[in-house]
Amino acid sequence: MPAHDDSSVSFLARIRALLDQLPPTEQRLGRFILDFPGELASYSASELAALVGVSNASVTRFVQRLGYASYEEARRHARDQRSAGSPLYLAPRPAGTSGGGLAAHAQAAHDNIAATLRGIADAQLDAIAQAMVQARAVWFLGFRNNRNFAAYLRWQLAQVLPRTQVLPGPGETLAEYAVDIAAGDVLVVFALRRSPAVAAAFARHAAQAGAQVVFVTEPSSAEGAGARWVLHCHTAAPGPLDSHVAPMLLCELLATRALQAAGAAGRQRLAGVEAAHAALGELRTAPRGDAAEP
C-alpha cells in the first residue's frame, strides 16, 4: 500500500489533488493517466514512459509524489480499482482499439452464458421457483444496474404470483420494508459488481428474519449475505461496460420455472391478466419471434 498509508484514497484522487503542483513533464503523465487510468494497470513503468513520451525517472518521481513506494505498488492499487469494475478503468484508448467488434462481443456473451450455466444446477432453479410460488410474498432488490434485473424479474413473475414488489420504491427506505419481511417470504437480491453494500446488509437481515434469500452476484465476490441460494453470473466484456446477457438469461430461466411451478393457479391468474388486457385494450398484438412488423 502507499507510503502514506491511506489506501482508502483512490489512485485518481491522488493525481487530481497534486496535478497543479507537479512539474510540466509529470503533469503530462498525470493528465494521460486521468484520461486512461487503466493504462497504469496494464503497462510496466518503461512501457508507460514510452507511451506518454517521458523518462523512466519521471514515472518514478510521479508515483512517489503520489505517496507510493514504487511503481509496482501504484500499479497494484490501480489494478485493484480496475478489478472493481469502474468503466473509467476499463475504457480503451481510442488509438488502435475499438473496445471489441461484433464478433468479440458475441463471443463474450456466449462465454458468459456458458460459464454462468455451468455453475447453476437445474435442481437449484426448481427449488427457487417452488419457494417463490409457495411464498407469502416475493420481494426483489437491486441498486444501480441491478435494479433493472430486479424490476424485470418481478414484472415477469407478477403475471403468475399475487404478491411481488421491488424494493425500495421512489422516496422510500429499505428500513420501511425491513419490518414486513418474515418467514414464509422470498427475497431475490441482485448484487452484481459495484452494488452498494446495503444490498447485502438487507439480504442478511431478511435471512435472519426467516425469509429465504436468493443472492445473485459475480463469481469474484465472496459475499453470500446469509442467502440460501447464491448464484454467480459472469459479466466479462471486451469493452469498458459489463455484459448483462447472463443475468438477463437467469431472469428468464427463473420466470419460466416459476410459471411452470405455479400450475393451475398460475395459469388462472395469467388468464385473468390477459382477459383484463383485452377488456382494457392496453396492448397491440404482434407476431412472436423474428417476423417483421407491418
Q: Are 82 and 133 in the same domain?
A: no
* Model confidence pTM above 0.85: no
Q: Which three cell numbers stand for residue 176?
A: 420501511
Q: What pLDDT score does 87 carry?
A: 56
Q: Are 66 and 148 in the same domain?
A: no
Q: Are 75 and 188 in the same domain?
A: no
Residue 207 included in any domain? yes
- Whole-angstrom distance, CA of residue 123 vs CA of residue 133: 15
Q: Are 121 and 43 in the same domain?
A: no
Mean pLDDT, the chain, whole residue set: 84
Q: Are 175 and 41 in the same domain?
A: no
Q: Are 109 and 246 in the same domain?
A: yes
Q: What angle do CA 157, 160, 166 make, to 5 degrees?
A: 35
Q: What angle do CA 196, 200, 201 make, to 5 degrees?
A: 100
Q: Are 133 and 85 in the same domain?
A: no
Domain limits for position 268 = 103-280
Residue 71 included in any domain? yes
Of 40, 68, 90, the residue at which a domain comes to its end is: 90
Only one residue has cell 493525481, namely 15
The CA-based dihedral angle spanning residues 104, 106, 108, 112, taken in that order and rounded to the nearest 10 degrees: 180
- The CATH number of the domain holding residue 72 is 1.10.10.10
Of 55, 90, 125, the residue at which a domain comes to its end is: 90
> For residue 171, how many other CB atoms are within 10 A of its CB?
5
- Whole-angstrom distance, CA of residue 200 vs CA of residue 206: 10
Q: Are 183 and 254 in the same domain?
A: yes
> Over the stretch 27-83, which tens digit does the pLDDT of each residue have?
888 888 877 766 677 788 898 888 888 899 999 999 999 999 998 998 888 777 665
Q: What pLDDT score does 206 carry?
A: 96
Please tell me which residue, 279 or 97, carries the higher pLDDT value: 279
Q: Are 165 and 68 in the same domain?
A: no
Give one DSSP letter per residue of 36-50, joined into a string. Answer: -THHHHHS-HHHHHH
